[in-house]
Structure 1
């Protein structure tokens, strides 16, 4: 049976509960499409077809046995791939590195446990750069992740495979993670809605470390409601987590289904890095979003950057240290990508005192910024300073040039990983050449609900769901 692959996660889950579609039919549909389209987009690095079909058959039995279908798990029978930085028990976990090309995970990350508990089918692992460090998804393990809107261009990173999978119709939604923009960057490059939650909203354990609190899992989807449902599924603390987010005000899905009211929204196009020029297409997306927000009745206020370039050297220092946290077996360091080796060399040269000073300096900046930011319900920026770039634009350069190009490409996102605030990419704009350009909205700590409600209002006013890349059909 051929299914329309534009069905979102919520519609598929509802069709399963209503016994209109079977989990086996849904899973077979997406596996067939993965087999046919994935070679073009590089979304999946590992496909677990046999395991996915077993999960689908088990889900089908649950539906058949259910006396009250409404009580079934919210994602029962819905395929949701997992990024290859997260552990899925019994499945290859490469971390995007040739060093670990044949390693098998022996446990589930907590976010994967929650996806399983919600009934989702796990069809495979999505492409990511080595250790998730760069803002593109190219490595020595598998072909690069490409945006389905232009197969010569990168899907972004580090959740590039997840975004490519959703945008190409190889999954209705996907799990991603974001330590410096890694959900928002590929969501912008692939024309999707993505949420970086508040620090501590989603558990990073037991395999992932959250020592610096920069990274978090989150959803990537075609619609706001699908992403909100996935965040409801993923959210929740676990023993041993270093951070805990403020409790949400109801479910995130409920926020997607109610208006936000009149909000006070700050906006800034001033990059948080020196020497960055914002491309005219990205500036146009920002201005159009501003005009739409005002048209919807919100107050939009111009502000200078809350952070400026002061955070950049501290973030770069921590990024180098983070590159050293993955233990590489002796004699295999030469298998690492040049950028990773360069970052690890920088990280190893950092002293404990310098790490603590970087944290203290960032905290000082945030203590000044938060009282001002908290005067607004949301903050608008371009997501990226450039449209999607060609495959190899970063990866084919020497490490220093590679890193500098990434800094110029994404000067807005990382500040909200440092602050821990939630932030979303909203796909409101496409260029004359058909490339998606996103805008970013950041919120108060714990304020995912407001961002989701506002994004749903924007989606209703300027629907993007019917925009499909050339290879969609």
Structure 2
């Protein structure tokens, strides 16, 4: 019990329910951990310790009188600073909203609280989640706990670091072009980009936009699965919300599954350090009894489709704001250039790609590939500008290995795959058929149990 802060959410929920430890004790262990390590990494940017104590006390009282409120009764959780939290400052990483306090919780927060989770605070993100490097003008940069001189990734970088260092056992993230998967890879934790609609997002601006999703993050696949079961579910306010109730697949391993392996997703440059780590993944699956085949992919249509829809969405959501940071402003300007013909071309490209991948998944159960094309880079560096001597056109291009997958309308998990020679984490990406989130998590769990990479803690 001396390290409650590194127990899993599943174990904490069990201990609290059995009254072997109180919600107040669990919270205090995590608050102590936050006090100890957060000054070094800057992951949790708004802490609500007193509010959390009151919630933990209420959880203990409720448990004594009427039993657990839900599967996360008394378990601490942190919310990304893009997510609205009633009565808790929510800045979106932007000076324009530095003092903003929402009046209502977003749906994902409502569902976590309804399941009994205790909110401890907000995690850092770049301005409006723009980019895979967590730094902004309000709070500064979040540091990688495995090497404080390196980036934590983004845009859910604060969430990934808070998890990796034991400040919380669960955190929500969001992902348009890798914002949940990339920091999970950089920080040796687990993140799931669910099938769009699995975790509904409610909007009166871009309700039909499917590239951006919310999802669970944790240190283990079991905890991600537990959290997904809480935050998933139909809501009629989301036009593509999935009615099917999420249920995990039995832990049957991966023997007999058909696994496609792509070391570069069809010709993308991959840093040799990342390539060396991810190249070990196929052998793991083969030893587990899966049938692994290296494949040649053609995901080129994803490039134009992603960039066009992303730019259009940035104009839609942020086009009326002044004083934006350079990355957000650049995206808005790209949106101003989008024409009807561009959207028509992007829709056709995405439709072609979807049908090609539907045929691909008739042959294979899952695809495995690198999450990110590089390992964590220096924190002072705004983005990756070159890979293997190949110059990249802009700050987006180094994340193609993630954002090409975003276009597929498919679930994708980032799972710890190992470390570079200098101790930097690298994740493997497990992609499944659309709507088969449970299959992706089953495969991820088998890989996790076979390797144990996620058990390695940062040297803080």
Tell me the TM-score normalized by structure 2: 0.93
Partner of 1:357: 345
Partner of 1:75: 72
Taking the aligned partners of 1:352 and 1:203, their CA distance within structure 2 comes to 28
Q: Is the 8 A contact 2:234 2:243 kept in 1?
A: no
- 1:14-413 to 2 correspondences below 5 Å: 14-66=14-66, 69=67, 72-206=69-203, 209-245=206-242, 247=244, 251-252=247-248, 255=250, 257-271=251-265, 276-307=268-299, 309-327=300-318, 333-334=322-323, 336-394=324-382, 404-408=394-398, 410-413=399-402
**In the superposition, relative to structure 1, how do residues 48 and 317 fare at CA in structure 2: closer, same or farther (>3 Å)?**
same
Deviation at 1:306, TM superposition (A): 3.7
Deviations 1:241-300 (A, max 9, x none): 12133725x622x54x4434420011112346x7x4211222122221001111111111
Q: Is the 8 A contact 2:205 2:317 kept in 1?
A: no
**In the superposition, relative to structure 1, how do residues 62 and 88 fare at CA in structure 2: closer, same or farther (>3 Å)?**
same
**In the superposition, relative to structure 1, how do residues 49 and 432 fare at CA in structure 2: closer, same or farther (>3 Å)?**
same
Taking the aligned partners of 1:182 and 1:158, their CA distance within structure 2 comes to 4
Deviation at 1:395, TM superposition (A): 5.5
Taking the aligned partners of 2:207 and 2:127, their CA distance within structure 1 comes to 18
Partner of 2:388: none
Taking the aligned partners of 1:287 and 1:251, their CA distance within structure 2 comes to 31
Partner of 2:450: 461
Partner of 1:470: 459
Q: Is the 8 A contact 1:306 1:373 kept in 2?
A: no
**In the superposition, relative to structure 1, how do residues 369 and 454 fare at CA in structure 2: closer, same or farther (>3 Å)?**
closer
Taking the aligned partners of 2:243 and 2:404, their CA distance within structure 1 comes to 20
Where does the alignment leave 5 or more consecutive residues of structure 2 unmatched?
A: 386-390
Tell me, what secondary structure is at the counterpart of 1:428? strand
Partner of 2:4: 4
Deviation at 1:78, TM superposition (A): 0.5
Total equivalences in the alignment = 455
**In the superposition, relative to structure 1, how do residues 361 and 147 fare at CA in structure 2: closer, same or farther (>3 Å)?**
same
Single out whichever of 91-100 and 119-128 deviates more from structure 2.
Answer: 91-100
Taking the aligned partners of 1:4 and 1:41, their CA distance within structure 2 comes to 20
Taking the aligned partners of 1:380 and 1:215, their CA distance within structure 2 comes to 21
Q: Is the 8 A contact 1:82 1:124 kept in 2?
A: yes
Tell me, what secondary structure is at the counterpart of 1:122? strand
Taking the aligned partners of 1:403 and 1:102, their CA distance within structure 2 comes to 35
Deviations 1:428-450 (A, max 9, x none): 21112111111101001111111
Q: Is the 8 A contact 1:133 1:158 kept in 2?
A: yes
Deviation at 1:368, TM superposition (A): 2.5
> Which consecutive aligned stretches of 4+ in structure 1 deviate over 6 angstroms post-superposition?
none
Q: Is the 8 A contact 2:278 2:426 kept in 1?
A: no
**In the superposition, relative to structure 1, how do residues 38 and 458 fare at CA in structure 2: closer, same or farther (>3 Å)?**
same
**In the superposition, relative to structure 1, how do residues 369 and 466 fare at CA in structure 2: closer, same or farther (>3 Å)?**
closer
**In the superposition, relative to structure 1, how do residues 161 and 84 fare at CA in structure 2: closer, same or farther (>3 Å)?**
same
Tell me, what secondary structure is at the counterpart of 1:153? strand
**In the superposition, relative to structure 1, how do residues 207 and 65 fare at CA in structure 2: closer, same or farther (>3 Å)?**
farther
Q: Is the 8 A contact 1:246 1:446 kept in 2?
A: no
Tell me, what secondary structure is at the counterpart of 1:445? coil
Deviations 1:147-177 (A, max 9, x none): 1101111110111010010001111121111
Deviation at 1:233, TM superposition (A): 0.6
Partner of 1:416: 405
Partner of 2:417: 428
Tell me, what secondary structure is at the counterpart of 1:123? strand
Deviation at 1:208, TM superposition (A): 7.8
Q: Is the 8 A contact 2:4 2:26 kept in 1?
A: no
